[in-house]
Structure formats: C-alpha cells, structure tokens
Structure 1
Amino acid sequence: MKYLLLVFFALSTIINAQELNCKVRVNVESLETYYRDFLNDFASSVEDYMNKTKFYNGEWEGNRIECSMDIFFTSASNEVNYAAQVVITSQREIYKSPNYTRMLTVSDNNWTFRYEEGQSFYQNETSFDPLTSFLDFYANVLIGFDLDSYAELAGSPYFTKALNIVNFAVTGGASSSWLNTTSSYSRRKLVQELLDERYRPVREGFYDYFYGIDYYSISKKEAQRLIVKFIDRVYAAKDKLDVRSVLMKTFFDTKFGEIIEKLKGYQDAEGILIKLKKIDPAHAAKFDEAIKL
C-alpha cells in the first residue's frame, strides 16, 4: 500500500523542466542609501537563476519545490562587495491535501560575495564562485531533502553535490563561513552529517516521518505509528550523534510544532514526548506543555 500510494502520487503530478519555484525577497534597509540602488535587480536575478537553472540530474517529475529566500543585506564595503544574512525555507505538498508540510528552515547568517549591478549569473560546477555557488549549494540541499521524503536516502547524490561545493570553497580560499564554525549553523557540517553513516538512521527515518504526514488524512493511527517509528529510530541513535548536531537542530527547529500537533491523541503521547525532550532538548519546554494538555 505504501509504495502504491507513492507511485500514484508521482503519476498524478506534472513534469517540469526545472526543479524549484523559489520566491526571493531582499531587504537593504541596513545599507547606506548610496549602495541600495546597485541592488535593484538583485532579487529578480537570484530568482531567475534558482528557477531556470537545471540542478537535477535527470528529468524532474512532479511539481516544483516551493521554496523561498529572504536576503537581508548587512553591509557593503564598496559598490560590488556585500554581506548578507539569508533565511531559506522549503515545503512540499501533502498527499491528497491542499496543505503543505515545511521541509526546511535555515538561517544562514554569513554570506559574503561580489556582485556587480546587472551582471549575469552562470552555473559552474567545477569551480567556486561566492555568489552562484552559494545558490547552487542550497538548491541541491533543497532537492536532497525533498527526495529523502519520498524514498530512503534518495537525496544522497544532491547532498554529495552540495558537499563538493563546500570542498571547492575550502580549497579555493573562500570565507570562513564555508568551514565548520563555532556558531550553531554551518553549511559544511550540515551536509557532512547528512552523508555521515552515524546519521543514516535519521535520514532513513525521514521517509517514515513524511509518509506518516502524507497518510495522516487517510489513517491517523497508521500515520502516528510511522511518526513514532521515526522518533524511536532517532532516539536509538542519539548517543552516537553530535550533541551540537546541525542536522538535528535544523530538522527539529523546522518540525517540532508539527510533531506535537500530529501526536495529539496518541496512546503513549507522554512517553514519546519524553523521548523527544532527550532528542531535542532545545524545545523541551514545548514538549512539557504538550504533555500537560
């Protein structure tokens, strides 16, 4: 039944040339007025690049991945050198539902790059460019997460491509934002963990989790069983994982509210929420609130 449902879901969608439907918004309020005019076309240029560039290796089947990039410029050292903070989000359709489930929310606070007003954006997978390689990195991460939700480990080729971009950045002398940093988020660490065997149970569990989300309107009981199966997998692996794991933080920052909502009425909700407190201590207070309900 599981595989039949997924095949039907795939056949019910359309085939598109590219993979992303990315909405880009730019905020330049932190910049001096002089520099703002140089960025008038930046949002549309990034949006065109994300939506018209081919990132997937084959022919993309299904609707485009709904995603967004909110770019907050923080400084400009001259007319062409900029720094920005970026919030990247993505979501996908829930089977037989008008609703979507959030796939990813990332706050990347350290993007530095060179941009000349009116310049063209070109993809180059064999060299590093601080502007387009950043966009390529997140395009591949978004595609990888989307594919992982439909089949176990299906996103691996795209996480590998993202890691290759990181390696190009490191060997090319890119800024420290491409390294493993002491901050709570690191591009490099995110994709390293996604490809690390220690995190394999987590990624394999993504499939169960999102199948549970897809199946929720059909059978709440079965959907909850699948979500709990994912939680149990992660709980069993937790002692092998980095306590400051970027992947775990990224996933649970995105999904903790949905998990609480979907487990309402589950027969052993308290026991599962106690496990979640140990897996995701950052949201322990929210899990405690849910236990009391």
Structure 2
Amino acid sequence: MWFKSVGLVLCILLGVATEQPTKGQELACDVQIDRSQLSGSEFSFLGDLRRRVEEYINERNWTEDQFLSSEQITCSMQIVFLEALRPTEFRTRLIVTSRRPIYGTSQSTVVVRINDSEWQFEYSRGTSLRYDPNRYNPLTSVLDFYANIILGYDYDTFSELGGTPQFESARRIANEAKGTGDPGWSATSSDRNRRQLIDELLAKRHQPVRRAHYRYHRKGLDRFVKDPENARTEVIGLLESLQETSQYLSNSYSLDLFFATKYQELTALFLGGEQSNRAYNLLTQIDPGHSSEYNKLMNR
C-alpha cells in the first residue's frame, strides 16, 4: 500500500536492510472452533475446520497490493457452533476481530470486533473449501465477505475512506447472496447483519463514521506517544463530528460497532487528561450504553 511503501523507500535510502514486498497474503488470521454446545462425539470432525479455514483465509491473495510479511493484518475468527440442524448442517455464531499496530509503540489496537449470529452452512468430514468469487456458497462466501470487511476497515485507518474497494467487493458478495434466503444477507432478517453493515459502510451519509476511524487511529493513537494532548484534541474533534452525525443516524450498526470496539480504549485515552470532562459529556451523549465505563472519567 502507498503509505507502507513510503517507509520502504526511506529504509532503502538510509541503507537499511528491508524485507522485499510480495503480492497478496494480506491476512494472518487465527481461527478457533467452539463446538461445546453440540452434544455427541459424532461432531469431532469439526475440529478439522479450523485448519481448513485458516488455510483458506491466510493463503489467498485478496488484493493486488504488495505487503511485507510484517505488514500482514492480524485477525481472528471464532466459529461457535450453536445447533446441529442435521448431521452436516449447522447454525453458528461468528466472532470476527482485527487488529493493527499503534505507530511508535510495540502495542496494537482492536480495529473492529463483529459478532455475527446468523451463519448457517453445511460441512462434512473432509470437505475442501474452494474459492470461487462467481458462485455463492453459504460457508466460503461469508469468509470472503469478512476477509474484505477486515481489509476495508484496516485500510480506512491509514487513509480516509481507503477501504472503499474492499467494501465494494464485500457488497458484491452480499448482492450475490441476497436472493438465496440464507440468514444474515437480507435487510429484513435482522437490524444487525451483513446486509446492514455493508450498506452503511458504502452509504454517503455514514461516511463520517468511516472518517472517524482514520482520524482516531492515524491522528489520535499513532500520535499519542509523542504528543498526547494534541492527539486527544483530534479525538475530541472526531467525537464532536460523530455527535452531529448521530443526530440523523438512527440505529446505526457501524456507529455502534465503533463504540462497542473502542469504549474502553477511549476511556483510557482521556483518563487524567485536561479534556476528560469534555470527553465524558460527548461519549455519554453519543454512546449512553457504555456510560458506566465513561463514568471513570469523572471519578478522577
């Protein structure tokens, strides 16, 4: 990506040995399988799904961009089996998490955490997962969708609306799945599903939420170590923008995801800072559901 290529050029000019960028394999995804809610030993074959999903996600080129191995996006997928509808058909919950490094530190931050409770698919012993962007599959199409969502969110943290191409790829998958009747793809099946998420991420009226991801990560977290007060000022500015946005965005999934992912980090960011009172007022207005966490800002 262009913002990562700058660092590579600087290293070359300074005579520093670097990794050579290679095309693709952008994701380093850890997959966990939880089948504790299924009774019976006949489902032991589901343990093999972990390896197959990891290979499917991690060994694929999802974009045309060049990545160093150290630039791979760290993410995780937890597949929780809720019910066996038939011996090889399952209702599951998928928890998707992605992280990115914080510039100038050895730490990382969670970019987004999504809890998808509407995933239903068939899987039998020894089933291979084959990538086919032109054909809908209840199992792999959801994996494709979230691979693009992870990429889009990550790109958005490095440049304003930088993840649009990846989100458009996710929308094409959602459009292909819309007529299947499978859960999670219809705007009428739930107010917190894949369809609503991708519609919001590409809607102009929701762009302030995506712009907030850029400002928060690139101008807030990445600058916090060197200039904490200016970083806090930047975050206050994006919160003021989100306060205005929240006035006309009712029941916004993408806005709720931002705060569900970041509420504890936002509190820690302002603890002990001069702008904690202003942060408290904004956060409790925009995100009242996490007021008990934000109250810590007033108890110092």
TM-score by length of 2: 0.89
Between stretches 156-165 and 128-137, larger displacement belongs to 156-165
Cross-structure match for 1:216: 224
The 5-angstrom pairing of residues 168-187 of structure 1 reads 168-171=176-179, 173-181=180-188, 183=190, 185-187=192-194
Compared CA separation, residues 168 and 4, structure 1 to 2 (3 A): closer
Cα distance in structure 2, aligned partners of 1:92 and 1:45: 24
2:278 matched to 1:271?
yes
Unaligned regions of 5+ residues in structure 2, if any? 12-17
Q: 1:184 Cα deviation (Å)?
A: 5.5
Compared CA separation, residues 24 and 11, structure 1 to 2 (3 A): farther
Letter in 2 for 1:204: R
SS at match of 1:149: helix
Between stretches 101-110 and 184-193, larger displacement belongs to 184-193
Letter in 2 for 1:8: G
Compared CA separation, residues 239 and 283, structure 1 to 2 (3 A): same
Cα distance in structure 2, aligned partners of 1:282 and 1:181: 25
2:87 matched to 1:79?
yes
Deviations 1:212-249 (A, max 9, x none): 1011111111211221121121112221212x111111
Compared CA separation, residues 6 and 262, structure 1 to 2 (3 A): farther
Q: 1:208 Cα deviation (Å)?
A: 1.2
For 2:129, which of 118, 121, 133 is the aligned residue?
121
Unaligned regions of 5+ residues in structure 1, if any? none
SS at match of 1:178: coil
Compared CA separation, residues 191 and 238, structure 1 to 2 (3 A): same
Between stretches 142-151 and 111-120, larger displacement belongs to 111-120
For 1:44, which of 25, 45, 51 is the aligned residue?
51
The 5-angstrom pairing of residues 254-265 of structure 1 reads 254-265=261-272
Question: Quick check: 1:35–1:76 contact (8 Å CA) kept in 2?
Answer: no
Q: 1:125 Cα deviation (Å)?
A: 1.4
For 1:133, which of 124, 137, 141 is the aligned residue?
141
2:292 matched to 1:285?
yes
Compared CA separation, residues 9 and 101, structure 1 to 2 (3 A): farther
SS at match of 2:99: strand
Cross-structure match for 2:107: 99
Cα distance in structure 2, aligned partners of 1:74 and 1:129: 20
Cross-structure match for 1:148: 156
Cross-structure match for 2:33: 26
Cα distance in structure 2, aligned partners of 1:214 and 1:10: 20
Cα distance in structure 1, aligned partners of 2:35 and 2:9: 40
Question: Quick check: 2:33–2:47 contact (8 Å CA) kept in 1?
Answer: no
TM-score by length of 1: 0.91
Please tell me the root mean square deviation across aligned C-alpha atoms, in Å: 2.2
Percent of pairs with identical residues = 30
Deviations 1:75-108 (A, max 9, x none): 2233321111111111111112111011111111
Cα distance in structure 1, aligned partners of 2:38 and 2:4: 50
Moved over 4 A (4+): 3-6, 9-14, 181-184
Q: 1:68 Cα deviation (Å)?
A: 0.7
**Count of residue pairs the alignment pairs up:** 289
Cross-structure match for 1:8: 7
For 2:248, which of 235, 240, 244 is the aligned residue?
240
Q: 1:37 Cα deviation (Å)?
A: 2.4
Q: 1:182 Cα deviation (Å)?
A: 6.3
